[in-house]
Amino acid sequence: MSGADHDAGRQHLLRKLQSLARLSADDAEAILALPMDVQTWPANHPLVREGDTLSACQLILDGFACHHKSLPDGSRQVVSFHIPGDFLDLQGLQLGTMDYGVSTLVPTVVGRVVHTALHELTWRHPRVAAALWRDTLADAAVLREWMLCLGRRTAREHLAHLLCEVAWRFSIILPPVHSMPLTHDDLADSIGLTRVEVSRELEGLRRDGLIGLQPSGVAVLDLDGLARVCDFTPAYLHQDRAT
Amino acid sequence: MSGADHDAGRQHLLRKLQSLARLSADDAEAILALPMDVQTWPANHPLVREGDTLSACQLILDGFACHHKSLPDGSRQVVSFHIPGDFLDLQGLQLGTMDYGVSTLVPTVVGRVVHTALHELTWRHPRVAAALWRDTLADAAVLREWMLCLGRRTAREHLAHLLCEVAWRFSIILPPVHSMPLTHDDLADSIGLTRVEVSRELEGLRRDGLIGLQPSGVAVLDLDGLARVCDFTPAYLHQDRAT
DNA sequence: CGAAACATTGACCCGAATCAAGCATTGTGG
DNA sequence: CCACAATGCTTGATTCGGGTCAATGTTTCG
């Protein structure tokens, strides 16, 4: 938990917001100066429960987390993944109760920023507020693509699409061909299928040489090949950068 | 197309934004004064195509429309419904290209507001900008609930849930027990199933006395009964009002 | 070493898709 | 005013993707 670690997490946030709006030096300084209470959590730890009302937002400084919703019968749907630089519960700043839960997927470091500090930031720095709004819009675009996957793609296409997306987003912050720390249960809850079917489809993709199955997780070996399986087009991520 | 009609549509927008943020009289006046180019379209008319880049936002003044995405093979997923007072393409104001299409479902009147006017509005009226951000967050909450339906509910539960949501949202602007102007194809594209299965499940719900099937569309007869079928809880809509 | 968590595989089942035929409304032109 | 096309709805027979159940294998870690 060195100071440098926290700075790296804040820098991810700043870089993302700068890519979404033209920020002044003053805006940037205010973002980096946000008062933040740093906490470390293990993998699979709940950070927010459905129905909570919050008084602070949590920024991922290091690690990996997801949003999820559940049915009374216990079945669970993961609705999004989040990486360093993402706020996990910006919704709690603006709307009353949380309609989704948040959990870590790997050991994760978060920075808690009290709502008053964020309200002050957005009030004094309208361009930062605009950037956060755009970030919300970009997140919604990802939700829509996931809905298309859930409703209209086959199991294999959906799985391939998810792996493409995660590999693509991870490549911003991690070296390529890094294996992804997702269990088969995580993948199943993300694509709306069962663990058993995930196992079978992963085996199919492995046999085709598109992915590698290691104990540490799934590794994407042939991103272009995978993208061809599922017609992956990263435009919906609304992030401009060299592919 | 009388002036009164346009005012009704604007009033829906104003009322929604006032429920999301405490607006000043000046803020309200600016919203009602937005310069707007009024257009009328038939049912099933495309208003935005996937990939478009826009220079104006379209506000529904009267009617009913949806957002949808498609796969290369032509299959389509409806991702949200929109009613008078909703902007159909706020995303186009903040992000480059549209990742979804927009179509009318019934004859619809929209007001086109050029981006420059909206940028000026949000810049001069930060509370209006905050309200629009909250509106985006509330829309995203609906997308997440739809994902839960797509991934984890059965055909019957999902259909019942959709009917509950639409009936609930329509009740704000229409008399109750109004039949909903959705074809079986529209419903099928919304819940990620086929027209045939929609027909069978609707017949099941009708046999149980929960809905009525008329030529003009589906009418919800027993909202509480329907809600019990699918565990419908309107909290995710983030609209406080007497149920 | 043993327990717990995670992954794989096979046999069988079921919900929804597909294919196909026929019916009911609506609207249009002769 | 009727004919008939177009669109939308219903229903049955059959198929198939993915679920369920169950047994077994593999890591990881206390």
Domains and CATH numbers, chain A: 3-145 (2.60.120.10), 154-237 (1.10.10.10)
CA of A210 to C1' of C6 (A): 22
Annotate A200-232 with b (16+ C-beta within 10 A) or e (fewer).
Answer: ebbeebeeeebbeeeeebbbbeebeebbebbeb
Q: What is the model's pLDDT at position B1? A: 43
Find where tokens 């038939």 sit: B42
**Model pLDDT, residue A175:** 67
Neighbour tally for B19: CB within 10 Å: 16
Can you tell me whether residue B49 is helix, strand or coil? coil
Task: Establish whether the CB of B193 is closer than 7 Å to any nucleic acid atom in strand C.
Answer: yes
Residues A175, A176, A182, A188, CA torsion sign: positive
Query: Hey, how many other C-beta atoms are within 10 angstroms of the C-beta on B167?
Result: 22
Q: Which of A51, A69, A140 sits opposite B136 (nearest CB)?
A: A140
Packed helices B223-230 and B155-170: angle between N→C axes, nearest 10 degrees = 140
Take residue A169 and report the two structure tokens written for it. 């987003």
CA of B221 to C1' of D3 (A): 38
| Touching B: A residues 36-65, CB under 8 Å | 51
- Under DSSP, is residue A213 helix (H, G, I), strand (E, B) or coil? strand
Give the separation between CA A231 and CA A161, rounded to whole angstroms: 8
Contact A2, A68 (CB under 8 A): no
Residue B71: its pLDDT value, please?
97
Which mean pLDDT values do the consecutive 10-residue runs of chain A (243 residues) have? 66 96 97 96 96 97 96 96 96 96 96 98 97 98 98 98 94 75 96 98 97 92 96 92 51
Number of C-beta neighbours around residue B231 at 10 A? 14
B12 within 8 A of B30, measured Cβ to Cβ: no
CA distance A101 to A188: 17
Averaged pLDDT, B135-146: 98
Cα A15-A21-A25 angle, rounded to 5 deg = 65
Distance from the B1 Cα atom to the nearest Cα atom in chain A, whole angstroms: 32
**H/E element holding A41?**
strand A37-41
| C-alpha span between A16 and A37 (Å, rounded) | 21
Is A8 near strand C, with its CB below 7 A from some atom of it? no
* Cα radius of gyration (chain B): 18
Q: CB–CB of A103/A66 below 8 Å?
A: yes
Residues of A whose CB is below 8 A from B137 = 90-91, 94-95, 136
| Interface test mutation site (partner B, options A20, A82, A94, max chain B beta carbons within 10 A) | A94
- Secondary structure of residue A242 in the 3-state scheme: coil
A99-119 burial, b at 16+ Cβ within 10 Å, e below that, comes to bbbbbbbbebbbbbbbeebbe
Contact B124, B24 (CB under 8 A): no
Per-residue pLDDT, averaged over B183-211, amounts to: 97
Span B58-71, average pLDDT: 96
Q: Of A204, A206, A203, A220, which Cα lies nearest the Cα of A164?
A: A220
How far A124 CA sits from the closest chain B CA (Å)?
10
Q: A129, B133: Cβ pair inside 8 Å? A: yes
Closest CA to B62 of B43, B46, B90, B35: B43
In order, the DSSP letters of A173-202 are TS-TTPPB---HHHHHHHHTS-HHHHHHHH
pLDDT at B176: 64
Residue in chain B lying closest to A234 (CA): B99
Give A93's Cβ-side CA count (13 Å radius).
29
Q: Taking each helix axis as running N to C, give the angle between helix B126-152 and helix B155-170, from 0 to 180 degrees, rounded to the nearest 10.
A: 150
Contact B147/A at CB under 8 A: yes
Rounded CA gap, A67 and A50, in Å? 10
Q: Using only C-alpha atoms, what is the Rg of chain A? A: 18
The answer, yes or no, to whether residue B87 has pLDDT greater than 80, is yes
Question: Gap from B174 CA to C24 C1', in Å?
Answer: 28
User: Does the pLDDT at position B2 exceed 60?
Assistant: no
Task: For chain B, give the percent of residues with pLDDT over 70.
Answer: 95
Task: Compute the residue count for chain A.
Answer: 243
Q: Is the CB of A188 under 7 A from strand C?
A: no
Across the interface, of A71, A122, A143, the residue whose CB is closest to B144 is: A143
